[in-house]
Amino acid sequence: MPTEAIPNERLQFHCMDVQVHQHTFAQDVADGLTAPQKWLPPKYFYDERGSQLYEQICALPEYYPYRAELEILGTYAAEIHAEIGHLALVEFGSGSATKTRHLLSAYEWEGQPFRYCPVDISREILQDTAHRLLQEYSQVEIRAMHADFAGQPEVIQAFQLEKKAVAFLGSSLGNFTPVESFEFLRRTAAIMGPEDVFLLGIDLKKSSVILVPAYDDAQGVTAAFNLNILYRINRELGGRFDPQRFEHLALYNDEQGCIEMHLRSRQAQRVPIAKIEQVVPFGKDETIHTESSYKYSLDEVRDLGYQANLVLRRTWFDARRYFLLALFRPS
Ligand code: AVI
């Protein structure tokens, strides 16, 4: 993994190979759009535009998870930091690190140098955030990593940290299937030392009356976020999607305990995608399943951790108990 030289002694930047990334996108699109239930992996939402749209989603009145987690971090940052101690903070899916700033401030107030290691799939947001944080925090040393960490949490071993706190916030674990979540936690636990901690931010189960509007907002920002994946296929893979011929769909799957997002074809159509050498047929109302967002109960979170060799030690909730911040130690 090459390290890009950026002239700042407090910043190191690790990059993943873009060629590999391109190949994977084409392969995943080919696999997903030729399956009986068409699907696309949600990680491809997060190109530059998608990441900006996600930031906008977080500001929507209907999208409570962001504010609920922010409330927890704003209220309990000092307590959480006391529990973590002075460990280097590694964050999977760091994005703009807006919420994490509460924790970073608690580190900064100690008045000693500390290490923050953000890992994100969006290179632009990662670079931008790293530079902003260097200006905002005089004590921070940043080692940033551009990586697709979802199937390989071991990428963080490249940081070569003796002890660490690993954070996975924003309920991003909810976008993994239950099997993927288990594997991700198990493999993360396997690379943790006895004094390391794992901090998980996860959305809790609640009524679909609250859940569905959070993923189908009145302003249509989530719809634009969902449809953006078609623009990305057009741009990067020579696709000929007309996004106006698709509509955003969000529903709560009670049996699975997840919100599902789909793109529904408004008409029968055939869409050529040059780079995968396919013409993809769609029936009227046929959907592409683009995301699942699993919601957990406290017991499910505890059990999932336990099976993955992580013991739940502390929990923090927002006032409405919509969201959970859970601290685990390896068993
Ligand atoms: C990033 N992830 C946790 C978001 C979620 O709530 O599942 C992604 C998202 N999709 C639609 N709105 C937000």
Query: 45 C-alpha vs ligand 1 centroid, how far in Å?
Result: 10
The mean-pLDDT minimum among 111-120, 144-153, 231-240, 309-318 falls in 144-153
Q: Which of 56, 94, 175, 324 to mutate to test the pocket of ligand 1 (most atoms within 8 A of CB)?
A: 175
By CB atoms closer than 10 A (0-12, 13-18, 19+), residue 10 is middle
Has residue 6 got a pLDDT over 80? no
288 - beta bridge partners? 38, 263
pLDDT at 22: 55
Q: Which of 251, 293, 322, 323 to mutate to test the pocket of ligand 1 (most atoms within 8 A of CB)?
A: 293
Query: 174 C-alpha vs ligand 1 centroid, how far in Å?
Result: 8
pLDDT band, very low/low/confident/very high, at 312 (cuts 50, 70, 90): very high
Average model confidence (pLDDT) across the chain: 95
pLDDT in tens, 47-84: 889 989 999 999 999 999 999 999 999 999 999 999 99
